[in-house]
């Protein structure tokens, strides 16, 4: 499925509105002057306020990373599949806590619109 190449400058957040940042796994292939994210890139989340109810109160269960689930089938960056996004909005990823408990999809509000990969 074709999609926009995800890059380090993409603006995204976890399901609970905490900002997420892409740490690039490579810096040689650029799009709009920013490194392209691959499936090996780490997407970290900072400041997620999510808590789960447990007796007698709540347990903090913040999102700490986003696992991207949509690799490009035909575009490789330094031998690794590029991460692609079909359209801005709810992204094809999964926000996870430190215990790898899924918390929902990330929200991508801005991505470069020039380069599309399949």
Radius of gyration over alpha carbons of the chain, in Å? Answer: 15
The dihedral over CA atoms of 58, 64, 66, 67, expressed in degrees to the nearest 10, equals -90
Q: Both tokens of residue 12?
A: 């995204």
- The H-or-E segment that residue 72 falls in is strand 71-77
Q: CATH number, domain at 90? A: 2.60.200.60
Q: pLDDT tens digits for 10-33?
A: 999 999 999 999 999 999 999 999
Q: What is the pLDDT of residues 44-92, one digit of tens each?
A: 999 999 998 888 889 999 999 999 999 999 999 999 999 999 999 999 9
Tokens of 69: 């689930």
Tell me the residue range of the domain where 36 lies: 3-117
Per the structure, how many domains does the chain have? 1
């Amino acid at each position: 499925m074709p999609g926009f190449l995800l890059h380090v400058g993409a603006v995204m957040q976890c399901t609970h509105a905490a900002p997420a940042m892409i740490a690039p796994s490579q810096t040689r292939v650029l799009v709009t002057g920013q490194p392209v994210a691959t499936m090996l890139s780490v997407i970290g989340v900072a400041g997620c306020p999510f808590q789960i109810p447990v007796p007698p109160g709540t347990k903090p269960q913040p999102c700490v990373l986003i696992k991207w689930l949509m690799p490009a089938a035909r575009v490789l960056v330094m031998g690794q599949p590029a991460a692609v996004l079909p359209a801005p909005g709810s992204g094809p990823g999964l926000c996870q806590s430190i215990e790898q408990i899924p918390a929902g999809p990330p929200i991508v509000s801005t991505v470069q619109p020039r380069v599309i990969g399949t």
